[in-house]
Amino acid sequence: MPSNARATSLTRRGILAAGGALGLGAVLAACGDGDKKKDASPSSSAKSGSWEFKDDRGQTVKAKATPKNIVAFTGTAAALKDFGVEVTGVFGPTYVEDPKTKAKKPDVQAGDLDIAKVKVIGNVWGEFNIEEYLKLQPEVLITDMWEKDALWYVPEEQKDKILKIAPSVALWAAGKSMPSVLQRHADLAASLGADVQSEQVKKDKARFEAAAERLRKVAQGKKDIKVLIGSGAPDTFYVSTPVRPTDTLFFQELGLNIVTPTKLDPSGWFELLSWENVDAYKADVILLDNRTGTLQPEQLKAKPTWAALPAVKAGQVFPRVTEPVYSYAKCAPLLEDLATALENAKKVS
């Protein structure tokens, strides 16, 4: 989510590979008439049928053929893969590098992406290598949108240059309930040629719907269990409002009793608590941000006030996939895991 613990804890490296051998200004000037160049390319002229998609900004993106060279935010790319669409390049948290061996393993947001096969043009907040993006000859850029018209993980200071290279598609990742967001990702995948009526997708959707019904029934019997949505940073604990993220909004709709913070920061996403005041809200269960860059339970053991929380002492802290991969295949397990956690949760606050 915008201004989250993870983003603010990272160094905002606005790295731009300018001044290199390619000469960024010259390259951008050369591709300024990008639509005409793409239309004249052999791959485009060989395809038949036009393509268009109306995104969640209300913008209709058009092309003379269905895009094949797709560059997307990592989580969006992972969702498209589950629906049957492969991407060429990604930006956003894709891999975690072992500090000793330098070996790379997929980030939690990479889903089933083969990180060795996709080109990573940015792996952290503020990193988007335009020269590498150009080399991919992208036909469309796809990303999430947490705030209206703000393209997730597309650096604001580079946005104008980036959007000259290829058209963009943005889908809501906030302010809408999870089922509607999933449907929009399915719609986009279908427009890109995926068979979203395949047996596998139908099976995944049925599993998601069954998991939602199970969670609804569990929540009905656990109305006294208070659930807090949190994220840990070295100096701050973030308590998220449930009404903006797609997952927690859906959890509320299913009947979960989620703590609502009363003193939201200017962004309207969460309340910031000092570690001395981390017990400001009573909670029986804590769903803790699992993203790379946020403090996890093992690291939080060093915080005495955290260790003293009733939910922590009761072992009722569970990972929350704060930025879900919006496919039925990835979201169904989130509901199943939460249902299991609630089934076994006890009132401790």
Q: What is the DSSP string of 202-239?
A: HHHHHHHHHHHHHHHHHHHTTTT-EEEEEEE-SS-EEE
* Phi-psi domain of 318 (left: phi exceeds 0; alpha: psi -120 through 50; beta: other): beta
Alpha helices by DSSP H, listed for the chain, are: 5-9, 24-30, 34-40, 42-45, 74-83, 130-135, 159-165, 178-191, 199-220, 246-253, 297-300, 304-307, 310-313, 328-344
Q: Which amino acid is at 6?
A: R
State how beta strands 119-122 and 226-232 pair. Answer: unpaired
Say how far apart CA 72 and CA 67 lie, in whole Å: 12
**Do the Cβ atoms of 69 and 137 come closer than 8 Å?**
yes
Q: What is the pLDDT of residue 102?
A: 87
If one counts every other C-beta atom within 10 angstroms of the C-beta of residue 302, the result is 10
How far apart, in whole angstroms, are the C-alpha atoms of residue 89 and residue 73? 9
Which segments of the chain have a pLDDT < 70? 1-48
Strand partners, 212: none
**Residue 32: its pLDDT value, please?**
38
Q: Is 260 left (phi over 0), alpha (psi -120 to 50) or beta?
A: beta
Sequence-distant (≥ 6) Cβ neighbours of residue 177 within 8 angstroms = 246, 249, 250, 253
Nearest of 166, 323, 134 to residue 246 by alpha carbon: 323
Q: Please answer whether residues 118 and 77 qualify as being in contact, where contact means their C-beta atoms are separated by less than 8 angstroms.
A: yes
Instruction: Give the burial string for 144-180 (b: 16+ CB within 10 Å, else e).
Output: bbbbeeebbbbbeebeebbeebbbbbbbbbbbbbbbe
Reference 267, options 289, 297, 245, 291; nearest CA is 245
At 1 the pLDDT is 55
Q: Torsions phi, psi of 54, nearest 5?
A: -95, 115
Q: How far apart are CA 239 and CA 231, in angstroms?
A: 7
The pair of structure tokens assigned to 161 is 């240059």
The partner residues of 295 in beta bridges, in order of sequence, read 232
How many Cβ atoms sit within 10 Å of the Cβ of residue 264?
16
- Residue 288 identity (one-letter amino acid): L
Listed residue (230, 78, 239, 244) closest to 147, CA to CA:
244
> What's the half-sphere exposure (Cβ side, CA atoms, 13 Å) at 66?
12
- Per-residue pLDDT at 193: 96
Kindly report the number of other CB atoms within 10 A of residue 195's CB atom: 12
β-strand 226-232 against 237-240: which pairing, if any? antiparallel
Residues in CB range of 197: below 8 A, 6 or more apart = none
Name the nearest CA neighbour of 145 among 163, 168, 124: 168
